[in-house]
Amino acid sequence: METFYVTTPIYYVNDVPHIGHTYTTLAADTIARWKRLAGADVFFLTGTDEHGVNIERRAREAGVPPQAWVDRIAPQWQALWKRLGISNDDFIRTTEPRHIRVAQQLFQTAYDRGAIYKGTYEGWYCSSCEAFYTEDELLDGQLCPIHKRAVQWTAEENYLFRLSQYRDWILRKIEGEPEFIQPDTQRNEMLSLVRGGLRDLAVSRLSVKWGIPVPFDPQQTIYVWVEALINYVTAIGYLDNPARYQRFWPQVHHLIGRDITRFHAVIWPCFLEAVGLPSPKQVWAHGFWTVEGEKMSKTRGNFIDPIGEITRLAEESGAEWDVAADAFRYTLLREVPFGQDGDYSHGALVHRFNADLANDFGNLLNRTLPIVERHFGGQIPAPGAPEGPDGALRKAAEEVPKAAGQRIGTFDFTRGLAEIWRFLGVANKYIDEAAPWSALKAGTTPRAGAILYNTLEALRIATILLTPVLPSATQRVWEQLGIAAPLAAQRLADARWGGLTAGARIRPGTPLFPRIEKTPALASAARPPEATKQATLLERSSGGRRPGGDARKLGSTTSSKGGTEMSEITIEEFNKIDLRIAEVLAAKRVAGADKLLELRIKIGDTTRTLVAGIAQQYAPEALVGRKIVVVANLQPRRLRGVESQGMLLAANDGDRAILLAPDQDVPSGLRVS
Ligand code: MSP
């Protein structure tokens, strides 16, 4: 059985968690879940980095002893991960005795082997901080960045690690193992750093009291970076659980941000080599997030608090909090190729929520289950013999687990998710084309059943594949599908065509991803400029109506007062409205709304749903087969739980909405201009 050990950096307890920290942990959680799904034996570690001068200082500012401070902050990190549903197997704190023991033992080993020697460390020292600073950390090249006071050039006697001696060894390793440091940009950076030469490294501090004492010289504490890196060895059981250590350590993947690659990919392997332990298998350094083009900083006040973002999305959409958390996670992983820097905006989150989760995933479920409920007594219909477009759907379903797995399993989340969304696209197209509603109308109920079975089977497979990225939402989809076997017990092998059991009782629920009806401000953040212009135009041409406006007027495109108060538009602006002839395939009343009808329409060879406020003028049966005119490129919106994917045109005098129709019979799909 494959073993897989993944770590996040251990987070400093002097900081509040923001999107950057959350990103590393969410990515690690996703890969851990993916590997479990693929059948591997996984160990996933995160934790907190609790020693060092900065934490000591932070505690002093708070007026509490360092231990009390770290005991206050560490649980907040644990609580954050719990709230986000992170599936870590352990949480290590560097102040725990288990870690102190391992750190001291490895430090002693390095000393005993002659890799650590006593020397002198020189640098810019701030006596208020009791800390050394490098030249580029100083303000104006001469002041302490914290106290804004002059620093002194100071020499401190301490212990140094013979890093320089490992230069050739680490260079050969990085050159010879292309996968050791990823992505390649980071690998190249490390190569040039190492080629430039390595200097011995001070690995103890006389001046820092808040740290783990050097075992052979307790006046000194172990340099916090070396000590912190050792956490990865401690937690897997180097001293406590040697069997587990043996099994997992050779498979360790350190997931980090690119600012700390040097520590993980150069210093750490050299130290491990010095104490006779194997190097990590891989160091994977992701990029940095900016927020709306700016670097995150406390002074700018643009720190993105993940909990705040998720709560805002949950409030805007009405989605459950844990589903909104999934959407946040999905957006971070989908938006930016792993390894590249990215820019975060709330608009991107809203866009992904609406376009990918509500439309492509959620809506496929929402449009399928009600038909099964109504026409098949809520039981999954029998599959039937394959015909027509069934083969293409099945083929896509058979290909997607491997295609997605090759990407996600190697940290390429963006392309892995694109593969799954490509498959969802095939499934959406399938139901449109196979049109179970037409089969029902034609009285070929078993065929309608087979189409629904195939669509639900595609959904089942997509749901299994999405568990690592949408752990909560997929659980809810699974419940709606009514599958008896627990989702948590599913493996990649279960994502095989035909696994859905006919006859099982579905459990339709409320839509998981209720579309966000955007305010204009949000709309412009989330949509490309073209689309925004187009929506604005439509709002104006319909008498200033907002997308979230009165549903009753939906069937109308002209103001009841006529056009005199409207501003002029150019022909180019008008041409942006995609007006089409459509044929009504089916119509029914929307439950609980006396003015609304839900229409299934056909535009050329595609079908879609429309909600229109014409129930008082038209009986549903009277509309079937009629040709109407629709706006085909209007942003979808949800009305009474039904997504309307367009708008029909009607003359409207305030009380009545009278349908526009072509003067002669013309095929559906024809452009109106
Ligand atoms: N304590 C050290 C790690 C020791 S590991 C043995 C540390 N902690 S940290 O809390 O400052 O940072 C933790 C992680 O957050 C790092 O991987 C860092 O790269 C990441 N990020 C911090 N800000 C970030 C962004 N703006 N964007 C993406 N990741 C960022 O370093």
Which of 221, 531, 224, 188 minimizes the C-alpha distance to 354?
531
* Residue owning the nearest CA to atom 15 of ligand 1: 21
Q: Decide if 554 is inside a domain.
A: yes
State pLDDT tens for residues 198-207.
989 999 998 8
Number of the ligand 1 atom closest to the C-alpha atom of 290: 26
* Residue owning the nearest CA to atom 9 of ligand 1: 11
CA angle 459, 461, 463 (to 5 degrees): 65
Give, in order, the Cα–Cα distances in Å from 540 to each of 21, 370, 418, 498, 672. 44, 35, 36, 50, 20
The one-letter amino acid code at 671 reads: R
Same domain, 572 and 446: no
Same domain, 404 and 349: yes
State pLDDT tens for residues 223-250.
999 999 999 999 999 999 999 999 999 9
Q: Give DSSP secondary structure letters for 148-188.
A: --B-EEEEEEEEEE-GGGGHHHHHHHHHH-TTTEESHHHHH
Tokens 């002093």 correspond to what residue?
Answer: 60
The CA distance from 649 to 658, in Å, is 8
Residues 6+ apart with CB under 8 A from 547: 517, 518, 523, 535, 539, 635, 637
The CA distance from 475 to 486, in Å, is 9
Check if the beta carbon of residue 35 is closer than 8 Å to that of residue 4.
yes
Ligand 1 midpoint to CA 154 (Å): 29
Q: Decide if 180 is inside a domain.
A: no
Mean local confidence (pLDDT), 169-174: 98
Q: Decide if 77 is inside a domain.
A: no
Same domain, 644 and 587: yes
Ligand 1 midpoint to CA 570 (Å): 52
Give, in order, the Cα–Cα distances in Å from 109 to each of 215, 236, 239, 243, 484. 10, 19, 14, 21, 54
Which regions of 26-145 does DSSP assign to beta strands (E)? 41-49, 90-93, 116-126, 131-133
Check if the beta carbon of residue 343 is closer than 8 Å to that of residue 289.
yes
Per-residue confidence at 321, pLDDT binned at 50, 70, 90?
very high
pLDDT of residue 540: 24
* Residue owning the nearest CA to atom 10 of ligand 1: 11
The CA distance from 428 to 448, in Å, is 15
Ligand 1 midpoint to CA 424 (Å): 35
* Residue owning the nearest CA to atom 6 of ligand 1: 229
Ligand 1 midpoint to CA 48 (Å): 11
Q: Decide if 353 is inside a domain.
A: yes
Which of 34, 2, 82, 28 minimizes the C-alpha distance to 490?
34
Which element (helix H / strand E) includes 672? strand 671-672
Ligand 1 midpoint to CA 80 (Å): 16
pLDDT of residue 534: 26
From 226, 234, 259, mutation site for ligand 1 pocket: most ligand atoms within 8 A of C-beta = 259
* Residue owning the nearest CA to atom 16 of ligand 1: 257
Range of the domain at 606: 535-672
From 6, 8, 10, 11, mutation site for ligand 1 pocket: most ligand atoms within 8 A of C-beta = 11
> Is pLDDT at 411 greater than 50 in this prediction?
yes
- 213-214 and 201-202 strand pairing: unpaired
Ligand 1 midpoint to CA 95 (Å): 19
> Is pLDDT at 393 greater than 80 in this prediction?
yes
Residue ranges around ligand 1 (CB below 6 Å): 9-12, 15, 20-21, 23-24, 49, 228-229, 256-257, 259-260, 288-289, 296
pLDDT of residue 525: 38
> Is pLDDT at 558 greater than 50 in this prediction?
no
* Residue owning the nearest CA to atom 8 of ligand 1: 11
From 21, 106, 252, mutation site for ligand 1 pocket: most ligand atoms within 8 A of C-beta = 21
Phi–psi pair at 132, nearest 5 degrees: -90, 145
Question: Which of the listed residues 465, 494, 523 is the one where a domain comes to its end?
Answer: 494
- Which range is most confident: 118-122, 152-156, 492-496, 625-629? 492-496
Number of the ligand 1 atom closest to the C-alpha atom of 289: 27
* Residue owning the nearest CA to atom 21 of ligand 1: 20
Number of the ligand 1 atom closest to the C-alpha atom of 9: 5
Q: Which two tokens stand for residue 425?
A: 């696209």
Mean local confidence (pLDDT), 343-366: 96
Q: What is the CATH number of the domain that holds 609?
A: 2.40.50.140
Q: What is the mean pLDDT of the chain?
A: 88
* Residue owning the nearest CA to atom 14 of ligand 1: 21
Question: Which of the listed residues 470, 494, 518 is the one where a domain comes to its end?
Answer: 494
Number of the ligand 1 atom closest to the C-alpha atom of 295: 26
Least confident of 78-82, 441-445, 492-496, 548-552: 548-552
pLDDT of residue 518: 62
pLDDT of residue 547: 30
Residues 6+ apart with CB under 8 A from 528: none
Number of the ligand 1 atom closest to the C-alpha atom of 264: 6
- Tally of residues, the chain: 673
Same domain, 466 and 585: no
Same domain, 477 and 543: no
* Residue owning the nearest CA to atom 18 of ligand 1: 257
Ligand 1 midpoint to CA 316 (Å): 30
Phi–psi pair at 431, nearest 5 degrees: -65, -35
Number of the ligand 1 atom closest to the C-alpha atom of 228: 6
Ligand 1 midpoint to CA 9 (Å): 7
Three-state SS at 65: coil
Give, in order, the Cα–Cα distances in Å from 503 to each of 382, 386, 427. 7, 18, 21
The one-letter amino acid code at 507 reads: R
The one-letter amino acid code at 466 reads: L
* Residue owning the nearest CA to atom 22 of ligand 1: 20
Number of the ligand 1 atom closest to the C-alpha atom of 21: 15
Same domain, 552 and 450: no
Measured N-to-C along each axis, helices 306-317 and 321-335 cross at an angle, to the nearest 10 degrees, of 110
The one-letter amino acid code at 419 reads: E
Say whether pTM exceeds 0.85: no
Q: What is the CATH number of the domain that holds 413?
A: 1.10.730.10
Ligand 1 midpoint to CA 661 (Å): 61
Q: Decide if 67 is inside a domain.
A: no
Same domain, 478 and 588: no
Question: Which of the listed residues 494, 520, 548 is the one where a domain comes to its end?
Answer: 494
Check if the beta carbon of residue 337 is closer than 8 Å to that of residue 477.
no
Per-residue confidence at 560, pLDDT binned at 50, 70, 90?
very low
Which of 2, 20, 30, 22 minimizes the C-alpha distance to 412?
30
The CA distance from 214 to 236, in Å, is 23
Same domain, 543 and 485: no
Three-state SS at 362: helix
- 152-161 and 342-344 strand pairing: unpaired
Number of the ligand 1 atom closest to the C-alpha atom of 229: 6
The CA distance from 366 to 360, in Å, is 11
Number of the ligand 1 atom closest to the C-alpha atom of 11: 10
Mean local confidence (pLDDT), 633-643: 80
pLDDT of residue 227: 97
Q: Decide if 519 is inside a domain.
A: no
Ligand 1 midpoint to CA 180 (Å): 20
Per-position b or e across 29-38, b if 16+ CB within 10 A of its CB: bbbbbbbbbb
Ligand 1 midpoint to CA 21 (Å): 6
Same domain, 487 and 604: no
Helices (H) and strands (E) in the chain — how many of each? 24, 26
User: How many domains, in total, are found in the chain?
Assistant: 2
Same domain, 397 and 473: yes
pLDDT of residue 491: 98
Same domain, 647 and 570: yes
State pLDDT tens for residues 499-533.
999 999 999 999 999 999 864 343 333 333 333 22
Q: Decide if 642 is inside a domain.
A: yes
Per-residue confidence at 589, pLDDT binned at 50, 70, 90?
confident
Q: Decide if 418 is inside a domain.
A: yes
Active-site annotation, residues: 18, 21, 126, 129, 144, 147, 295, 298
> Is pLDDT at 555 greater than 50 in this prediction?
no
pLDDT of residue 570: 67
Bond before 183 cis per omega within 30 degrees: yes
Which residue stretches of 292-376 are H helix? 306-317, 321-335, 346-352, 363-375
Three-state SS at 40: coil
Which of 90, 86, 83, 1 minimizes the C-alpha distance to 40?
1
* Residue owning the nearest CA to atom 17 of ligand 1: 257
Tokens 């693929």 correspond to what residue?
Answer: 38
pLDDT of residue 539: 25
Same domain, 354 and 487: yes
